[in-house]
Structure 1
Amino acid sequence: MQRGQFTSRLGFILAASGSAVGLGNIWGFPTNAAENGGAAFVLMYLILAFALAYPALIAELIVGRHSRANMVTSLHTIASTPSGAKIATPVGLAGIITASMILCFYSLVAGWMLAHTMATLANALAFHTLAEWLVTFGLTRNILFACGFIGLTVWVISAGIEHGIEAWSRRLMPSLLLLLIALIVYVLLQDGAFEGLWVFIVPDFTQLANPQLIMSALGQAFFSMSLGVGTMLVYGSYLRADEN
């Protein structure tokens, strides 16, 4: 059976961006910035992203394209010593387990988003009792919509790279961009928005040596680029051989 590939550079970029610019970043980045000096955090994040995270991203993509396999097999492929081959399996499995744990909280939070989206539609159709249940925090609702989100994820992935991940990234990423623009406009219209924006623009350079800020910025940089769990490695394995 022939292995699927991304059909275009744009499709790959949109899919990779979808992995990076997700709910975790939209939610987590402002929180980290607010707790760690605002613009100082953003500045340190950009420095670490270009100095450490970006090279790691390129390395994962190169390893993936070279090996054309999953994380465990890819690490075995590039291992040049017996000791390297010995740790390839546990390191690869650790990445897969970490990705699975990330899916656990992502599916729960994404389930909340699905429920609130449906609540908006229910209110518009005058199903107020249903809408109230959809926005009320509860175990049944959380499990139902988390499973629903996982089901949608499996459905997209089962369609393969070209007709699944790439196709849906082409459809959904422009929608996410429009949603982000609308969110920015909405936030800027709130009281005190420009005072908060000033905190993001003007860095407090005395905070740059704060170890907590540095570690938070480093973690955010690696999380933003989906590094260390094999996501970019696997995406790289579906790149065409002639793609740069």
Structure 2
Amino acid sequence: MVSAPSGGAATPQWSSRFAFLMASIGSAVGLGNLWRFPFQTGQNGGSAFVFIYLICVVFVAYPILMSELAVGRHKGLSAVGSAVQLARDAGQSSSWGLVGWVGVIAGFLVVTTYSVVAGQVAAYSLMSFFGVFAGADPLTAGQSTPLYDGPWMAFGWHAMFMTMTVFIVAQNIQSGIERVCTVLMPMFFVMLAGLCVYALATGAADKAIEYLFTPRFSEVGPAVFLAALGQAFFSIGVGAGILLTYGSFLPKDVNIGNNAGVIAGADTLVAVVAGLMIFPIVFANGLDPAAGAGLIFGALPAVFSGMPGGSFIGGVFFLLAFVAAITSSISLLMGVTMVGVEQLKLSRAQSAMVFGAGGFLIGAVSIFAPASAPWIDFISGSVMLPLGGLLISIFAGWIAPRKNMREELHNTSEGLFKFWRFFTRYAAPIAVFVILVLGVDAKFNFGLNALISGMTGG
């Protein structure tokens, strides 16, 4: 079925812990951090939602994150090869390579449509810097944009973004992902902090803080718990084979437990600060805070253009989003690229170009046949990603030998190891299975989501 080479060229490694953290945080921090988490928080009980979200991160996403890093590092192989080798060590079938296949295919499918949206982000950044949105009405700006008067403009920006992604992934670890992430992620944090200060100083800071952080426990019910669970799972980026792949480059002396905590914590912090960056402007201009992504690509560009220094601020905002997008996209493509290197015996450049071209074509289909995009998103986001998370938690908790997992988590305390093992074996699979079932129900309307909403009167 698959091969799991035990010898050959030395596995590439991260040059430093800082490089690993910047790449891993970059993979977790994506466009969803800039709009989905803040809006979920505001709509689902404010700080009550944040509290529930943090519980879900600690007891579900964090154990899966540790599992992916540990499984990936054990043999230093691709997501598929690592799963196959650990299964063989346990006397199990090499069919457990499915754990890796599901993850990297999910990541590949995500990047196909992610590239289309990210291309739009890049275009909006340039248009903002050049004042294209000047004079636009924020209340109607989302109805028509210069970018999407026709599909060919979107096609061109999609091609540009995917080409950049392929070029970075085709390089070796140090000259590709490391160089990009160690430069862009610190820049990202500086831009995020600066925009947050600007928004709080010029916008309706009091309303934003109240909306985000006032606990509204009366709004909390099953639907809110499930929203927090889903947000925790998807935001951290587990299930896509990313950290299986990044873990394979991790030196043995790096503490997986500590670094997994830093990744999860940084991802959450970015999401919270993003809310403090967006909502003061939203409330100051009388916009609908429930508009989500439509607000980001509709009204906000026009709002920025009418503010002091707005063209520059708007350009920086979309540049910030572009950095989040490119650091995520390279991680999504890297997983399947390394499988191509290992299983198909391609060079890194060949594998990146083959899968990048395939991803570009699928993304192009979603542009010229827009009805296909929701199905691609459903298969990748609602089915493959949760299935990948479910399989890795079952595999790490029940199939991989305990001694191998303890070996990879050797510099964590016995208490943390027991915590990881218990929640990986029991809580995580159940929680991710619920996400999977509700995602399928949302598409085919079997009635489960409606039942849960009805339990809270929502």
**TM-score band, normalised by the shorter chain?**
0.7 to 0.9
Q: Find the counterpart in structure 2 of residue 7 from structure 1.
A: 15
Q: Distance in 1 between the 2:231 and 2:92 partners?
A: 28
Shift of the 61–137 alpha-carbon distance from structure 1 to 2, 3 Å rule, reads farther
Q: Find the counterpart in structure 1 of residue 160 from structure 2.
A: 148
Shift of the 112–236 alpha-carbon distance from structure 1 to 2, 3 Å rule, reads same
1:30 to 25, 28, 38: 38
Q: Distance in 1 between the 2:29 and 2:178 partners?
A: 15
Offset at residue 52 of structure 1 (A): 1.6
Opposite residue 8 of structure 1, the aligned amino acid is S
Q: Is the 8 A contact 2:147 2:154 kept in 1?
A: no
Provide Cα deviations, 1:98-155, integer angstroms capped at 9, x if missing partner.
112221232112101111222245459xxxxxxx986445311111111111110111
1:238 to 249, 258, 265: 249
2:185 to 167, 173, 189: 173
Provide Cα deviations, 1:153-174, integer angstroms capped at 9, x if missing partner.
1111111211111111111001
- Larger relative contact order (CA 8 Å, sep ≥ 6): 1
Shift of the 83–111 alpha-carbon distance from structure 1 to 2, 3 Å rule, reads farther
Shift of the 8–203 alpha-carbon distance from structure 1 to 2, 3 Å rule, reads same
Q: Is the 8 A contact 1:118 1:134 kept in 2?
A: no
Gaps of 5+ in 2: 1-8, 133-143, 256-458
Q: Distance in 2 between the 1:197 and 1:85 partners?
A: 53
Normalised TM-score (structure 2): 0.48
Q: Is the 8 A contact 1:75 1:85 kept in 2?
A: no
State which drifts further: 157-166 or 83-92. 83-92
Q: Is the 8 A contact 1:107 1:146 kept in 2?
A: yes
1:97 to 100, 105, 121: 105
2:195 to 183, 192, 209: 183
Instruction: Work out whether 1:195 is the aligned partner of 2:203.
Output: no
Identity %: 36
Opposite residue 175 of structure 1, the aligned amino acid is M
Output aligned runs, 1:20-99, within 5 Å: 20-79=28-87, 85=93, 87-99=95-107
Opposite residue 79 of structure 1, the aligned amino acid is A
SS at match of 2:161: helix
Shift of the 44–169 alpha-carbon distance from structure 1 to 2, 3 Å rule, reads same
Q: Distance in 1 between the 2:179 and 2:59 partners?
A: 32
Normalised TM-score (structure 1): 0.87
Gaps of 5+ in 1: 125-131
Q: Find the counterpart in structure 1 of residue 151 from structure 2.
A: 139
Instruction: Work out whether 1:113 is the aligned partner of 2:115.
Output: no
Q: Find the counterpart in structure 1 of residue 237 from structure 2.
A: 226
Q: Distance in 2 between the 1:159 and 1:243 partners?
A: 24
Q: Distance in 2 between the 1:199 and 1:133 partners?
A: 29
Q: Find the counterpart in structure 2 of residue 163 from structure 1.
A: 175
State which drifts further: 162-171 or 102-111. 102-111
Opposite residue 220 of structure 1, the aligned amino acid is Q
Offset at residue 87 of structure 1 (A): 4.7
Q: Is the 8 A contact 2:11 2:77 kept in 1?
A: no
Opposite residue 20 of structure 2, the aligned amino acid is F
Larger Rg: 2
Q: Distance in 2 between the 1:160 and 1:103 partners?
A: 20
Number of corresponding residues: 236
SS at match of 1:240: coil
